Amino acid sequence: MKLATKYIHAGAHPDPSTGAIMTPIYQTSTYVQSAPGVHQGYEYARSQNPTRFALEEAFAVIENGKFGLAFASGVAATDAVMRLLVPGDEVIAAHDMYGGSFRLFSKVHEKMGIKFIYVDTSNATNVEKAMTPATKLIWLETPTNPLMNISDIEAISTIGKKHNCMVCVDNTFASPYLQNPLDFGATIVMHSATKYLGGHSDVIQGCLVMNDQALRDQLYFIQKSTGAVPGPQDCFLVLRGIKTLHVRMQRHCENGIKVANYLRQNPKVGKVYWCGFEDHPNHDIAKKQMRGFGGMMSFTLKEDSLAAATKVLSSTKIFSLAESLGGVESLINHPASMTHASIPREQRITNGLSDGLIRLSVGIEDADDLMADLAQAIG
């Protein structure tokens, strides 16, 4: 089945009672039983909800997986994966990563006895060298947030299998339209569904997708036991968003190419981080595992300073200064003070994330308008 058809019909089944083509919003907390323990497959909405189940089926379909689970946020989904571990376990994680994930790892799970080792995962050899008998999970972002570093999912998944270690890929930046990590051997895929899957900046949600039944059962137990589940209205919104993922991503990619090339040609711009450039580090790997390069990118000015960046960040008229990404509208972001503020400055600078770095989520507006907006902001 082609992608466009898959996304429109994923998880969609006409309502058996009315024939409604859209999945109903089952806004209920509990379900009536005809006798103790005798019910229609639904007991309590934290554990089961038909709207959520339809969405979880859709998540599995669009990521070429067997099982999907929905969570109240991307961080909640990440937390569920970490709860598979026990004190003394080690996690190898990308040194360039979303600040919220780093905060969860360093401020919450380290206290629980989990050890995190941060390496440059764009070189699979670094992952192999960091492996120990205690390593139980490799946590990848590819492309990374915000420097767009690319890791070889297949090579690192092979390392994980060799050491009986799970590999979880945060696929938020790429979306399932551009990349399917399970196809390259990953154990779990995570999304902040708030971003491209929802696509309209109106919902907070996360998801996990996997192929292993036993792993799904473990994660489902964590999901219902901790209660970090999304409400049915939010599930409805993401189901609706998935139906247009392919057309939105096509425009994000088209605009991304134009904006990235405009920035690279602007004499006041220093470095542009976008994995679609042929000279981008590991571009050949990106071409192998991605169907396109998306609308996420970062850049610095020739004057790589906080003051110069702040002027641009405060001057755009179409790009909105805000956290998040993946909506139909274009956003501009300052990682050092916003999405990555929880990472110590020294560590950020070492990883290449300067105080002057600007991140863009290129939306689906007219590309000419977006480039003109950047031109007047950069001056």
Q: Which residues are catalytic?
A: 46, 98, 170, 195
Distance set, CA 308 to CA 43, 158, 319, 350, 356 (Å): 57, 44, 17, 21, 7
Strand order in the sheet with 269-273: 269-273, 296-301, 358-361, 331-333, 320-321
Number of C-beta neighbours around residue 265 at 10 A: 9
User: What is the Cα–Cα distance from 264 to 252, expressed in whole angstroms?
Assistant: 18
3-state helix, strand, coil in the chain (%, to 5): 40, 15, 45
Tell me the CB-side half-sphere exposure of residue 213, using CA atoms within 13 A: 0
Nearest to 62 by CA among 171, 160, 180: 180
* φ, ψ dihedrals at 263, nearest 5°: -60, -40
- Length of the chain counted residue by residue: 379
Cβ contacts of residue 361 below 8 Å, gap of 6+?
295, 296, 324, 325, 326, 327, 330, 331, 332, 333
* φ, ψ dihedrals at 57, nearest 5°: -65, -40
